[in-house]
Amino acid sequence: MVVYTPSFSFCGVRYPISSFKMELLKYYGIHFSQVLPMAFLRIVHFQLTYAAFNGASLVPLFHLFYRLRANSDWFTFEKRKDSYLGTPLVL
């Protein structure tokens, strides 16, 4: 497996991969090598933003804002158009 490290470095992916990223990949049932580098940028952005406000990032909360989308042989995360922001969050 070849990993193009400059693009992952640009997107904030560092080794070892955080437990939040591992939980997220496990939740969606995908492997690290199947995710577009720019999709990791969304994950890192969410993780840093949430950590600045509340603390540890939570996978169910990420799922409220983003959805997994297949892009050919790769996966990415896109913003949800059917946002659940008006409903209370139960974790």
Measured distance CA(43)–CA(41) in Å, rounded:
5
Q: Has this prediction a pTM greater than 0.75?
A: no
- In-domain check, residue 90: no
Q: How many domains is the chain partitioned into structurally?
A: 1
- In-domain check, residue 84: no
- In-domain check, residue 40: yes
- In-domain check, residue 86: no
Over residues 35-75, the pLDDT tens digits come to 888 888 888 888 888 888 777 668 888 888 888 998 788 88
Measured distance CA(47)–CA(10) in Å, rounded:
16
- In-domain check, residue 17: yes
Q: Which residue range is the domain that position 55 belongs to?
A: 5-79
